[in-house]
Structure 1
């Protein structure tokens, strides 16, 4: 199983599936559909049932039940990689029997335990890293490889008892669209698990409430030689607005359950400029308060302007899945027990981000998140431990068995 898992992962990361929020299509990039099509062929060869790939890049399949009366469950991973770092020409490095030293990432970069102390826990294990020119793509091709390996192995086990098990690989999760065209008529699970987490033992059922705010500054352009009393530089207005934001209330200054405002993009010319913020908070009341505060601040700035204007548009992205999972404690309990049976201590912590499961939970499919074994996603320092990937695969299989054992009608 270990070699099959590794081979799959190394094959999947060769596909450039970087998503692109500037593109309106679904999927947003052709590489995602190319990987989905390759996976479709693989699932058919492995004997999965009801394998279907939609024109929008959603790949679904079924492992039929071997015992009746068990609730159908599912596993979900996403095809795309982060839009803000290259996922092309990925050249993975396999570091066997890691000795605790620095790992060169090409000529200019390195993965050092001084900067990344989590490396110390992987002495003697096999690490997969980048070569310093791209991200690795473990987020979330590791999840895909683990689901395919787990369910194909389960199908080959003599006498294995489980209910219907669905899988779905979604496009464009990294740009917040992974649940947009999810087909609930095909994916008939009562609940599911996204396999899209980090280090060994990670089990997450809380995430940020999230919104995007676009602050637009409207100015007035003219020739700079005759600008006196006429020109209103929208870029200057935007810069002054941001300078008065609570600069300590940012991602780089917050952790655990602390929320933040994050300036994700700024662009513009003299006539018009935009500041794009992402707003995050675990507490729904505080989340709403953050949105109100930003709106009121724009209004207060407008009241002080003699020329030009500011406006803000705020769009909610997803909400904390915790409220949707509280009524269904068995979903998380089964995952905890599966890890315990494999000697894994569950590491329960909030997701300082979101997954497809964040939205799917509010669409009627409770969906906590399981670890994949990776670290440092979305950049050149991304790495994953092969032994942790094997454990993630075994946890998926154990969840399927435990669901049948505990919930058979």
Structure 2
């Protein structure tokens, strides 16, 4: 597999701005996602894929036909084209650092932006490898353009090497994953796979089939504004009441103090004046009972404060977002076992752990397409310090090829 060819492909994809927009209900949420989708549509046709179809919602599907003389399950691979709105994805300037020496990487000398293993110690896993970063002023977009690169490259390799036996493979590139809509209009029946894998994980070896149960909560606190000089007994400061609500939730159950299977409440937006304050939370937990308990605690906290105040000043609105795919994947654990076996065959140590977030795969699993998540290779997603080792992209590409081969062997 040609390393420079892979680098060129990845660089081409990340220099196309595809940032999604959480505030736009349109689908896709930004027109610029079409720019990469159309490039991919053309490229898939050029490499020899069949049934290449870009639909009206910016979902791009394609088929690699089976080259077997017997039937095996149709499998799929999925990645998303959009990048996170958390940090700008415009004017990405990739920097390639060959033979990484384990020291600080200066991303931007003028602005003194440094990617340092003293803070990001994962870097030390990749000494001697080729690291791709940005110039420190944008994110990179390895989430998930590394996954897109891997799927396209694996399909290209299989087309060019018909001696490698495989069943029918379906691929799909989705829009708007970063704003939680990536699977909303995904046509599972049209995709036609028995199961699939999202190529959307982080470091080499990651294999995930558990994710958070997720909800969003909007807490609205109403107050009353009067002249502060004459406010005694009359003013109700919504911001003060909101702070009481915040402090009533468990102080240690927040993202910055939890890991592994530990859930949290995350206050991500707060806007307020005396008259009204709005708090926006995300609620996360792997365990369904604990997840339901978290939602109930928020409601009970509001009720207690309202009762103490003698007025219903706090309203709580909670909406579920997605659920733990474990429930849908566990009954078909052979699909995880296949990926694990392929990694071990390649000398990769599988890192089977829960996702502290969600992927398209969680929603797809609940739509009838069981969909574990495999590493795409990147680190430090959604920010200026994002990077990806080229060797990890190569390995992930080989894992896709290996899964295709393994399915052909296992279902003889």
TM-score bin (small chain): over 0.9
Q: Which residue of 2 aligns with 1:105?
A: 107
Q: Which residue of 1 aligns with 2:16?
A: 15
CA distance in 2, matches of 1:407, 1:314: 45
Q: Gaps (5+ residues) in structure 1?
A: none
The structural deviation recorded for 1:121 is 1.4
Q: Which residue of 2 aligns with 1:52?
A: 53
Q: Which residue of 1 aligns with 2:176?
A: 172
Give runs of aligned pairs for residues 1-400 of structure 1, distance below 5 A: 1-67=2-68, 68-107=70-109, 108-224=112-228, 227-306=231-310, 309-400=313-404
SS at match of 2:306: helix
SS at match of 1:301: helix
Residue range with higher mean Cα deviation, 212-221 or 387-396: 212-221
CA distance in 2, matches of 1:388, 1:21: 30
CA distance in 2, matches of 1:112, 1:73: 40
Compute the RMSD of aligned alpha carbons. Answer: 1.4
Give CA-to-partner distance per residue, 1:122-160, whole Å, 9 cap, x none.
111100012110111000000000000001111110322
The structural deviation recorded for 1:186 is 2.0
The structural deviation recorded for 1:261 is 0.6
Q: TM-score, normalised by structure 1?
A: 0.97
The structural deviation recorded for 1:26 is 0.8
CA distance in 2, matches of 1:287, 1:61: 37
- Whether the 8 Å contact between 1:219 and 1:308 is mirrored in structure 2 is no
- Whether the 8 Å contact between 2:67 and 2:162 is mirrored in structure 1 is no
CA distance in 1, matches of 2:297, 2:158: 51
SS at match of 1:279: strand
Q: Gaps (5+ residues) in structure 2?
A: none
Q: TM-score, normalised by structure 2?
A: 0.96
SS at match of 2:15: coil
CA distance in 1, matches of 2:384, 2:303: 41
Moved segments of 4+, more than 6 Å: none
Give CA-to-partner distance per residue, 1:22-77, whole Å, 9 cap, x none.
10101111121211111111111111111111221111111111123110000000
The structural deviation recorded for 1:203 is 0.5
CA distance in 2, matches of 1:239, 1:90: 39
SS at match of 2:365: helix
- Whether the 8 Å contact between 1:250 and 1:261 is mirrored in structure 2 is yes
CA distance in 2, matches of 1:30, 1:269: 35
The structural deviation recorded for 1:232 is 2.3
CA distance in 2, matches of 1:327, 1:245: 36
CA distance in 1, matches of 2:21, 2:398: 33
CA distance in 2, matches of 1:271, 1:255: 37
CA distance in 1, matches of 2:99, 2:128: 4
Residue range with higher mean Cα deviation, 139-148 or 312-321: 312-321
In the alignment of these two chains, the number of paired residues is 408
CA distance in 2, matches of 1:151, 1:343: 22
CA distance in 2, matches of 1:391, 1:354: 23
- Whether the 8 Å contact between 2:188 and 2:368 is mirrored in structure 1 is no
CA distance in 2, matches of 1:98, 1:273: 49
CA distance in 1, matches of 2:308, 2:408: 65
